[in-house]
Copies of this chain bind each other. A is one copy, B any other.
Amino acid sequence: MPPVKIMYLNPVADNPEVDRLFADMARAYKLAGTEVHVTALPRADYPFSHIEYRTYEALVTGGIVRAARAAAREGFDAFTIGCFYDTALHDAREISGAMAVTAPCIASCEIAASLANRFAVIVVRSKCNVQMGANIREYGYGDRFSGFYEIGLGVDDLQRDHAETERRLKAAGRRAVDDGAEMIVLGCTMEIGFYKEMEAELGVPVIDSAIASLKRAEYAALLRHQCGWVPSRTGSCEAPTEAEIARFDAFGGSRPVFGSRIVVEAS
């Protein structure tokens, strides 16, 4: 079997430190036969270090679908959008051709619902709750969701002081468990790197949503390779025709699609 190819897109401006963090994660968690490209958006057009606000999400939405389109044309099997808002998930799915698209929230909910009956989500700030809650309900996990717990740190601060972040994550997790959560989901991909310590502390499974989305993309890629299962393209899944895309020059011309790319090769 040739390697399965996955793109992990950070839907923010390229940032070497952050890119490397996710590339290291990919290297550690992918299967041997999987190739992962960790990418980010070009800073010139998408200057955001985080997309905590809908406003910023809206401003990168075009960049995400351009990336999804480009990845599909490069032959990727699966694509994940590295933000727990699952920004532009439905949009990217429309234009992804035979490539599957997933994202951290939906990937984490699936895993959590298979390992427990009630899971909590730890968010950076309660600002996120309404939008993420609507997503969780739309995905069908409303009855399994036990609540949001905030740590009061912005996304950009999560990797600044690891001890402080860990302390806050553990405290939020403890509150969640005390309220009846049987399991924890980390509701921001930048909360990466803490789940094992939290599991040791709390005694319940803790899902790192960045890893979850990578693994779900890999699962989708394997389903394509082995079973031939690819996205439907009928009904609401119909994509615009190539003729119309060309007529509109929908995806623009020469401006770069990706701001950075680290290739983690299959071994």
What residues of chain A have their CB less than 8 Å away from a CB belonging to chain B? 29, 31, 47-49, 52-62, 64-66, 69, 88, 90-95, 100, 102, 106, 110-111, 113-118, 126-131, 134, 137-144, 177, 180-183, 196, 199, 203-205, 207-208, 211, 215, 219-220, 222-223, 226-232, 234-240, 248-251
Which residues on B sit within 8 Å (CB–CB) of A58? Answer: 61-62, 64-65, 88, 91-92
Residue of B nearest to A184 (CB): B232
With known contacts A142-B140, A199-B228, A53–B239 Cβ distance under 8 A: yes
Contact B111 A223 (CB under 8 A): yes
Which residues on B sit within 8 Å (CB–CB) of A126? Answer: 180, 235
Which residues on B sit within 8 Å (CB–CB) of A140? Answer: 113, 139-144
Contact B118 A235 (CB under 8 A): yes
Contact A138 B127 (CB under 8 A): no
Give bound CA distance, A22 to B229, whole Å.
Answer: 19
Q: List 30 A-B contacts (CB under 8 A).
A: A29-B226, A29-B227, A47-B249, A53-B239, A53-B240, A54-B91, A55-B239, A57-B91, A58-B64, A58-B91, A59-B62, A59-B66, A61-B61, A90-B131, A106-B114, A110-B110, A113-B139, A113-B140, A115-B229, A116-B237, A126-B180, A127-B236, A129-B235, A134-B143, A138-B138, A140-B141, A182-B234, A182-B236, A182-B237, A205-B229
Contact A235 B47 (CB under 8 A): no
Which residues on B sit within 8 Å (CB–CB) of A47? Answer: 248-250
Give bound CA distance, A117 to B238, whole Å.
Answer: 11
Contact A55 B65 (CB under 8 A): yes
Give bound CA distance, A203 to B233, whole Å.
Answer: 9
Give bound CA distance, A250 to B113, whole Å.
Answer: 27
Contact B232 A116 (CB under 8 A): yes
Which residues on B sit within 8 Å (CB–CB) of A237? Answer: 116-117, 182
Report which of B56, B92, B131, B231 forms a contact with A205, defined as CB distance below 8 A: B231
- 9 tightest A-B contacts by CB? A140-B140, A130-B236, A116-B232, A58-B91, A58-B65, A182-B232, A182-B235, A61-B61, A55-B95
Give bound CA distance, A35 to B111, whole Å.
Answer: 22
With known contacts A215-B223, A231-B115, A55–B91 Cβ distance under 8 A: yes
